[in-house]
Amino acid sequence: MLIFAHRGASGIEPENTLRAIRSALDANVDGIEIDVHQVEDKLVVIHDRWLKRTTSGNGQLKHYSFEQLRALDAGHGEVIPTLDEVLALTAKKCLVNIELKGIKDIKLLFEYLDNAIANMKFKQEHILLSSFNHRLLALIHRTRPEFTIGALTSCYPLEYAKFAEKLSAYSVHLDVDFISEHFVEDAHNRGLKVFVYTVDETEDISAMKALGVDGIFSNYPTRSKSHIAHLINNSDS
């Protein structure tokens, strides 16, 4: 079962910052999950449309220029990073799940990804593009089918993972509150990986492993990895 550091090691460091990502890399995670918005002609790594929760700013992201955003404190003196800064830091080290939030121009996204692959030696297969915006995922697949996509949902779909299969997704990403044995079985029968968010409690981690999910997103990747290692050791003894 893969461990993705949710917004980096966000349980102990400011989320979606290079500091949080370095902490996750130090824990030897399998992957890092980040959130991306477009601001002007830049892609910035931040989760919310509103700035107050995670930065020293107020108001909405869309009312700030890129330079104004870079002047904000994202926690412990960190700046809001750009996507290329994150890709440069993680190249050849782990998978990167880029959750697409406010993306207006997919050509700009492809420019960032193509640059990372060409100039940072980033492996294309280490990039996973996910979103709740399924129309955006469909457009990405039509335009650049070589990129791997993951379909997010925050509900329990009537037809289980069929929606993700229709999108030609690699993986389906489901809220821990809605995961079930039937959903996992259905997704696997459709050839999909099952990734579950956000899983921090040891009881939930144990349950996800028992269900056979393929990966979890955790705010505390070190703790999660330690618990999985404990489960494996116990099963071998």
Closest CA to 234 of 210, 214, 218, 211: 210
Active site residue 76: no
Triad 111, 61, 76: Cα angle to 5°: 95
Q: Is 213 exposed, middle or buried (0-12, 13-18, 19+ CB in 10 A)?
A: buried
Closest CA to 34 of 107, 144, 112: 112
Helix (H) or strand (E) holding 172, with range, is strand 171-175
Taking the C-alpha atoms of residue 106 and residue 159, their distance in angstroms, rounded to an integer, is 29
What is the signed CA dihedral for 78, 53, 6, 86, rounded to 10 degrees? -30
Taking the C-alpha atoms of residue 233 and residue 188, their distance in angstroms, rounded to an integer, is 26
> Which of these is catalytic: 37, 47, 173, 227?
47
Phi-psi region of 188 (alpha: psi -120 to 50; beta: other; left: phi over 0): alpha
Taking the C-alpha atoms of residue 216 and residue 3, their distance in angstroms, rounded to an integer, is 5
Question: Cα-flanking dihedrals φ and ψ of residue 224, to 5°?
Answer: -65, -45
What does the DSSP 8-state code read for residue 50? B
Active site residue 6: yes
> Which of these is catalytic: 6, 37, 126, 227?
6
Tell me which residues are annotated as active site: 6, 47
